[in-house]
């Protein structure tokens, strides 16, 4: 759950620090007061992209920081580990995102810097947004299918089918590719064989190619290297080299040792230097001899290097690319050798894979059909509570003639808001208000199956009011039994049922507009005043009495 949220210099808000509790939190305020700033801060922490126009004017940067608590941190710790981020500390996770005006953005999780992609991955596991556009998603068949599969707990069956479907389609694509390839001419076959022969002359490993390039470099500059090694060898151990002069100095040091025994350690060190110089001279001399390539060896290295350079030009810049090209040429030659046999083998593999995919699709459809009846029955009860006393809601499984990525069937949600009217697809009859209520009913049914701890609802109660508003509030409170719920609402019937209440206000009395967010649940007077405002007039006694009544319920 979300424990604390700190926002600095985001849009019109200068700074605020908020504490959150489990359960249902309502966010209210006048239209245009800035409620979206709170949702924007949460979106930033969930990994939404943002530009620097969100930074408060005159501020160098905006910052958003949150602390999250996971009662059972095993799953979130596994996600953090997969992202190479520090684990939670007794279930506590700290997120921080900074967007400076003049520098690059900065994101950290538990004090460790990370990427926007990692923040997005984490966001999938702690927050779920449901905005005004959410009900419109119900008109899409893929959304309807996702909701049904979630209700059916069909994740394992969906994954099993998708794996079988992938295998089948890969074999179909392979056959298509082979069929579309024209038969190679004798010249093409000869060219491929010549290329393969060149490739197989080389040892295609990173180590072998590095050694070849190093030998070629040394051979090309062999004379220069020999001259340098010879200069070093002569300078160290030659007739007039450093070692000769050190030997003379060593004789003097031994004379000094004969007079003063205390100087013996110094003479010994000088003797060690003389030996080391002699060894270095010998090794540079040996190196120079090794750099002398015989003509046959030089020819071999040059030929192999020319082959490698040609292969790189044709097939890629590294060993892996050339190996991939080699394997592809081998496959093309093998296919040409037995084209009919290859196609027959693939046909058999395609048939086997298709049978496996169809079997997995049938198992998935059976689970969906069973769940569709239960979802329709349960959702219909929730829809009835939201004002559709005689509504009809159905979940229809539609078989497909061909297998698709989602199986051998689609799903269609049918709805009739009035008694005596046939249930039709949602997109044909549902208004925006009806869609919002259907979506809310489904979310209530599916809430227990969703393990994301924080659900954010942004005005999903739009287009409803009156007694239905109270039921919407009850639905939110019901979801909050197992989730932390944050709901932006304009309905006092919804706000009154929240255990926590945040009010967003905008002050434009001075030279600059300022947005503030305040928690008012601790003050009954403040809550009555805000609910009375939402009812029409915070100063009217009737509105205050109604607000008291709403809170009393």
Contact partners, residue 451, CB within 8 Å, separation at least 6: 75
- Residue 136: predicted pLDDT: 63
**Do the Cβ atoms of 35 and 72 come closer than 8 Å?**
no
- How far, rounded to the nearest angstrom, does the alpha carbon of residue 4 sit from its chain's CA centroid? 24
pLDDT of residue 283: 79
Q: Count of CB atoms within 10 A of residue 285's CB?
A: 17
Give me 163's structure tokens: 């794996």
pLDDT attached to residue 403: 94
Predicted local distance difference test score (pLDDT) of residue 313? 82
pLDDT in tens, the chain (553 residues): 999 999 999 988 889 999 999 999 999 988 877 888 898 999 999 999 988 889 998 899 999 999 999 988 898 999 999 999 999 999 999 999 999 998 999 999 999 999 999 999 999 889 888 766 665 666 778 888 988 998 899 989 999 999 999 999 999 998 888 777 656 777 887 888 888 888 888 888 888 888 888 877 777 666 666 667 677 777 777 777 787 787 888 888 888 888 888 888 888 888 888 888 888 877 777 766 666 666 677 778 778 888 888 888 888 778 888 888 888 888 778 767 667 777 888 899 999 999 999 999 999 999 999 999 999 998 888 888 877 778 888 999 999 999 999 999 999 988 888 777 888 887 776 566 677 777 777 777 777 676 788 888 887 666 666 677 788 888 888 888 888 999 888 889 899 999 999 999 988 877 788 888 999 999 999 999 999 998 888 888 888 888 888 888 7
Residue 281: its pLDDT value, please?
Answer: 77
Task: Please identify which residue in the block is written with the tokens 């966010």.
Answer: 27
Contacts from 516-525 at CB under 8 Å and sequence distance 24+? 516/13, 516/16, 517/13, 517/16, 517/18, 517/37, 517/38, 519/18, 519/19, 524/551
Cα 115 → chain centroid: 9
**List of residues 6+ apart from 286 with CB closer than 8 A:** none
Six-digit token string for 444: 């209530």
Query: Do 101 and 114 touch, CB atoms closer than 8 A?
Result: no
Look at the block and give the residue holding tokens 């939201």: 386
Chain CA centroid to CA 262, Å: 72
DSSP tag of 25? E
**Domains of the chain, earliest start first:** 2-138+432-522 (3.40.50.300), 186-337 (no CATH)
pLDDT in the model for residue 344:
85
Instruction: Give the whole-angstrom CA distance, residue 31 versus residue 28.
Output: 9
Which structure tokens are listed for 145? 């299918």
pLDDT at 461 (0 to 100): 67
Spell out where 452-522 has E strands. Answer: 454-458, 484-488, 500-507, 514-519
Would you call 406 helix, strand, or coil by DSSP?
A: coil
Closest of 525, 522, 549, 550 to residue 538, by C-alpha: 525
Provide the terminal-to-terminal Cα distance of the chain, rounded to the nearest Å.
27
Among all chains, which residue has been given the structure tokens 């255990």? 499
Nearest alpha-carbon partner for 71 in 92, 94, 50, 102: 92
Among 219, 194, 145, 198, CA closest to 405: 145
Token pair 């005689």 is found at 390
What pLDDT does 468 receive?
A: 76
Q: Where are the beta strands (DSSP E) in 76-213?
A: 92-100, 106-109, 112-113, 127-130
Say if residues 230 and 286 touch (Cβ distance below 8 Å): no
Query: What is the C-alpha to C-alpha distance for residues 33 and 517, in angstroms, rounded to an integer?
Result: 10
Give the number of other Cβ atoms within 10 Å of residue 404's Cβ. Answer: 12
């Amino acid at each position: 759950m979300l424990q604390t949220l700190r926002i600095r210099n985001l849009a019109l808000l200068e700074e605020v620090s908020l504490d959150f509790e489990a359960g249902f939190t309502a966010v209210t305020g006048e239209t245009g007061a800035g409620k979206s700033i709170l949702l924007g801060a949460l979106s930033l922490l969930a990994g939404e992209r943002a530009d620097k126009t969100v930074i408060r004017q005159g501020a160098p940067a905006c910052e958003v920081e949150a602390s999250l608590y996971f009662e059972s941190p095993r799953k979130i710790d596994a996600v953090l580990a997969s992202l190479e981020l520090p684990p939670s500390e007794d279930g506590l996770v700290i997120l921080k995102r900074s967007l400076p005006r003049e520098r690059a953005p900065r994101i950290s999780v538990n004090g460790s810097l990370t990427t926007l992609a990692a923040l997005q991955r984490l966001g999938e596991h702690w927050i779920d947004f449901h905005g005004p556009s959410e009900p419109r998603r119900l008109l899409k068949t893929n959304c309807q299918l996702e909701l049904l599969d979630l209700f059916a707990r069909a994740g394992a069956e969906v994954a099993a089918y998708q794996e079988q479907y992938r295998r089948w389609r890969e074999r179909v694509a392979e056959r298509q590719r082979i069929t579309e390839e024209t038969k190679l001419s004798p010249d093409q076959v000869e060219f491929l064989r010549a290329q393969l022969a060149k490739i197989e002359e080389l040892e295609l490993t990173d180590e072998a190619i590095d050694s070849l390039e190093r030998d070629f470099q040394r051979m090309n500059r062999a004379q220069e290297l020999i001259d340098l090694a010879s200069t070093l060898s002569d300078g160290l151990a030659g007739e007039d080299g450093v070692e000769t002069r050190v030997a003379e100095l060593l004789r003097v040091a031994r004379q000094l040792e004969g007079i003063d025994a205390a100087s013996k350690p110094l003479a010994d060190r000088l003797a060690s230097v003389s030996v080391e110089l002699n060894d270095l001279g010998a090794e540079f001399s040996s190196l120079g001899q090794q750099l002398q390539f015989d003509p046959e060896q030089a020819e071999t290295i040059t030929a192999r290097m020319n082959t490698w350079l040609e292969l790189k030009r044709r097939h890629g810049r590294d060993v892996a690319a050339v190996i991939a090209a080699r394997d592809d040429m081998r496959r093309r030659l093998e296919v040409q050798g037995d084209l009919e046999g290859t196609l027959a083998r693939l046909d058999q593999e395609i048939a086997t894979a298709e049978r496996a995919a169809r079997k997995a699709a049938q198992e998935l459809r059976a689970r969906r059909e069973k769940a569709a009846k239960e979802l329709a029955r349960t959702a219909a009860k929730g829809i009835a509570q939201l004002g559709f006393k005689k509504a009809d809601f159905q979940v229809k499984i539609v078989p497909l003639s061909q297998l698709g990525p989602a199986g051998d069937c689609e799903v269609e949600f049918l709805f009739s808001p009035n008694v005596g009217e046939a249930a039709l697809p949602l997109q044909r009859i549902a208004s925006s208000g009806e869609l919002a209520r259907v979506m809310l009913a489904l979310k209530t049914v599916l809430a227990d199956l969703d393990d994301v701890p924080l659900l954010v609802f942004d005005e999903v109660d739009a287009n409803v009011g009156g007694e239905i508003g109270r039921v919407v509030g009850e639905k939110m409170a019901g979801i909050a039994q197992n989730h932390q719920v944050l709901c932006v609402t304009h309905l006092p019937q919804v706000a009154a049922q929240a255990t926590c209440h945040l009010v967003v206000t905008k002050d434009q009395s001075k030279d600059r507009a300022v947005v503030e967010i305040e928690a008012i649940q601790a003050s009954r007077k403040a809550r009555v005043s805000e609910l009375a405002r939402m009812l029409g007039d915070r100063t009217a006694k009737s509105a205050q009495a109604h607000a008291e009544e709403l809170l009393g319920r």
